[in-house]
Amino acid sequence: MSNLVIVGAQWGDEGKGKVIDVLSEEADVLVRFQGGHNAGHTVIADGQEFIFHLIPSGLLHEGKIGLIGNGVVIDPEALLEEMGRLSERGIDVQRAVKISDQAHVIFPYHKQLDLLEESVRAGRIGTSGRGIGPCYADKTARCGIRVADLCDAAAFAKKLRQNVTEKNRLFQALYGKPPVSYEELLERYTGYAKRLAPHVVNGVRFLREAIAQGKRLLFEGAQGTLLDVDHGTYPYVTSSNATAGGACTGSGVPPTAIDRVIGVVKAYTTRVGEGPFPTEFPPDLMERIRTKGKEFGATTGRARRCGWFDAVVARHAVWVNGCAAIAVTKLDVLDEMETIQICTSYRDGARPVEEFPSSADVLSRCQPVYESWPGWQADTGDAGRFEELPPEAQRYLKRLESLLGVPICLISTGSKREQAFKIGCW
Ligand code: GDP
Ligand code: IMO
Ligand code: MG
């Protein structure tokens, strides 16, 4: 197996960063294919914490190349800051980071719009406030500015003027806000373009040549399946395709170049922001797991909502992504639990629901149907093999496999790089 896609199989923050770090040892090129700096992927290696937002999480391994694909929306300021931070810590970003010329660029007016839209929206989404949705909206409306435009002075000046004129109409007429300055943005973004230009490539060609040279590709999903704009809990989602199909559209490789998809799940569930969440804990359990699991956002610091493992959600994710296997993280967070619940189906009133509902309104009415499993009440942090886990933990994981219909290929029992073992991922 050569080319692997890693996706979140819940509502994001499943521990993709850690899993990708572990698996990218065997990859040559790491590809981010969607999302933007709304993502926060944490890797803890050699006692140091790294949080990746736009740059692929596998770059701590020497000699790897990371491509930010066409499906990503890039805030140049955030990217340059992230490159600067990694460079200070000894990562050769000048060599390792490539940027697709077809990726779209986030401007301050996108961020302003994101915040304004949230403030007037009847049902808040709880976005990260990074301008992600408005930038993708411009992309789909065919007025977006891409990296290639940014690096072409004449094209950039023209497109920026058109966009600023249009956005200022909105700011003034609809929101009663002062206009943004075209000149200021032109100067600032021309400066970013100069610094980013050495990294810019034709992403499609770059990956085609990598494949022709026999390089192994690892595609890194951001967010998670339930935040996917099509397959998630719409409208409480992000604005891109976080599912495996996004790896093709967001990078330019054909589906036939993908060999295997792995979904990452936590041993329980979390979500940040608004929207239905059937297995959400009551306050006492919420506090206990949030504290033990350090469930605070890597990007915004917001407290994450926590709940039991939801097999209806994960089954949906296994299907829409075509997961051959799943990686289970944060098993250790359940170490002290006396009993553990797994949601196996829902009820909508008296009606049993096995299939993940297409509508967030229906989902918000659904009540989870649980089965109870005994906890193991023992430390799993040092386990190096499946057989070294307590018998109750083994049974819990076996039950997840049977409910999802796919094997577990990696288990993580702590935040450090060493606290994970593979059972065959590539
Ligand atoms: P991502 O967005 O999917 O990459 O996940 P985040 O990095 O946002 O959130 C996952 C959090 O869990 C991070 O703080 C990780 O350091 C931490 N983490 C990952 N795997 C484990 C694990 O197995 N056990 C524990 N306790 N923490 C973990
Ligand atoms: P990673 O890659 C968890 C959520 C936001 C909000 C919704 C829309 O670290 O798993 P957006 O700013 O994208 O328009 O917000 O999506 N969200 C995430 N939740 N992990 C993420 O990324 C997320 N990225 C966005 O909280 O509910
Ligand atoms: Mg995260």
- Domain borders along the chain are 4-102+199-261, 104-196, 265-422
Helices (H) and strands (E) in the chain, counts: 14, 20
Report the DSSP beta bridge partners of residue 346. Answer: 353, 368
- Residue 34 CA to ligand 3 center (angstroms) comes to 14
Domain 4-102+199-261 falls under CATH 3.40.440.10: yes
Mean per-residue pLDDT of the chain: 96
Q: Tell me, what's the pLDDT at 424?
A: 66
Does ligand 1 have an atom closer than 6 angstroms to the CB of 134? Answer: no
Residue nearest to atom 5 of ligand 2 (CA): 127
Write the pLDDT tens digit of every residue in 294-311.
Answer: 999 877 889 999 999 999
- Residue 13 CA to ligand 1 center (angstroms) comes to 7
Q: Tell me, what's the pLDDT at 301?
A: 87
Residues with catalytic function = 13, 41
Residue nearest to atom 2 of ligand 1 (CA): 13
Does ligand 2 have an atom closer than 6 angstroms to the CB of 57? Answer: no
Write the pLDDT tens digit of every residue in 175-219.
Answer: 999 999 999 999 999 999 999 999 999 999 999 999 999 999 999
Strands (E), 152-221: 200-201, 217-220
Cβ neighbourhood burial of 338 (10 Å; 0-12, 13-18, 19+): exposed
- Is the CB of residue 126 less than 8 Å from the CB of residue 197? no
- Is the CB of residue 273 less than 8 Å from the CB of residue 226? no
Write the pLDDT tens digit of every residue in 220-276.
Answer: 999 999 999 999 999 999 999 999 999 999 999 999 999 999 999 999 999 999 999
104-196 matches 265-422 in fold: no
Pick 265-422's CATH classification: 3.40.50.1000, 3.30.360.10, 3.90.170.10, 3.30.365.10: 3.90.170.10
Provide, rounded to the nearest whole percent, the portion of the chain with pLDDT above 70: 99
Does ligand 1 have an atom closer than 6 angstroms to the CB of 397? Answer: no
Tell me the fold of 104-196. Adenylosuccinate Synthetase, subunit A; domain 2 (1.10.300)
Angle ∠(248,249,253) on CA atoms, nearest 5:
40
Q: How many CB atoms lie within 10 A of CB 92?
A: 12
Does ligand 2 have an atom closer than 6 angstroms to the CB of 128? Answer: yes
Record the pTM: 0.97
